[in-house]
């Protein structure tokens, strides 16, 4: 997508509204340690809405270019977390893998990688503080809340830069 996101108001508003279902995923994952497939399937049309919105909001963006941008975001998120899950014998759940893949559609590969880096840094920071204070093992970690805060941090950084 072309254009600065804070100047390109329709795309920025769309990505800001994407935080609402992501907050729902984060809350549910925090409580139940799972991301439901039915919720992910309901989130898919919202993510696919970014295709016509990108063509409308960004002059010079063609539909094939927007499809390529979204497909690269989807595949990069899916393949990265799938490979991590395979390397760690299921260290990342399938719901988290699918959620990250869906987030790759509206955010694209580059912003998705920034979101993932920020999310992982937040996990490391939280686990470090938790281990220093309680001196106990981490156990299972719900990743969707960290994705939410990583996405929020990326959007705040995007507004500042």
Give the chain's radius of gyration (CA, Å): 16
Note the pLDDT of residue 90: 84
Note the pLDDT of residue 160: 85
Question: What are the angstrom distances between the C-alpha of 117 and each of 53, 56, 89, 146?
Answer: 26, 30, 21, 10
Tell me, yes or no, whether 4 lies in a domain: no
The total domain count for the chain is 1
Tell me, yes or no, whether 18 lies in a domain: yes
Note the pLDDT of residue 6: 46
% residues pLDDT > 90 (the chain): 67
Note the pLDDT of residue 138: 67
Tell me, yes or no, whether 24 lies in a domain: yes
% residues pLDDT > 70 (the chain): 93
Taking only the tens place, the pLDDT of each residue in 7-45 is 578 888 898 899 999 999 999 999 999 999 999 999 999
Among 137, 68, 158, 54, smallest CA distance to 109 is for 68
Q: What residues make up the domain containing 117? A: 9-160
Tell me, yes or no, whether 3 lies in a domain: no
Backbone φ/ψ region at 92: left (φ over 0), alpha (ψ -120 to 50), beta = beta
Taking only the tens place, the pLDDT of each residue in 87-105 is 998 889 999 999 999 999 9
Q: What is the pTM of this model?
A: 0.90
Tell me, yes or no, whether 77 lies in a domain: yes
Tell me, yes or no, whether 2 lies in a domain: no
């Amino acid at each position: 997508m072309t254009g600065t996101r804070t100047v390109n108001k329709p795309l920025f508003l769309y990505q800001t509204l994407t935080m609402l279902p992501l907050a729902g995923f984060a809350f549910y994952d925090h409580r139940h340690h799972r991301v439901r497939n039915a919720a992910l399937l309901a989130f898919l049309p919202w993510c696919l809405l970014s295709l016509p919105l990108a063509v409308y909001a960004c002059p010079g963006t063609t539909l094939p270019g927007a499809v390529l941008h979204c497909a690269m975001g989807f595949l990069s998120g899916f393949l990265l977390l799938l490979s991590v899950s395979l390397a760690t014998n299921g260290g990342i759940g399938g719901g988290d893998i699918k959620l990250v893949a869906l987030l790759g559609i509206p955010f694209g590969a580059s912003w998705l990688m920034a979101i993932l880096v920020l999310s992982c840094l937040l996990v490391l920071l939280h686990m470090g503080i938790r281990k220093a204070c309680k001196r106990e093992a981490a156990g299972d970690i719900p990743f969707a809340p960290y994705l939410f805060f990583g996405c929020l941090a990326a959007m705040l950084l995007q507004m500042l830069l």
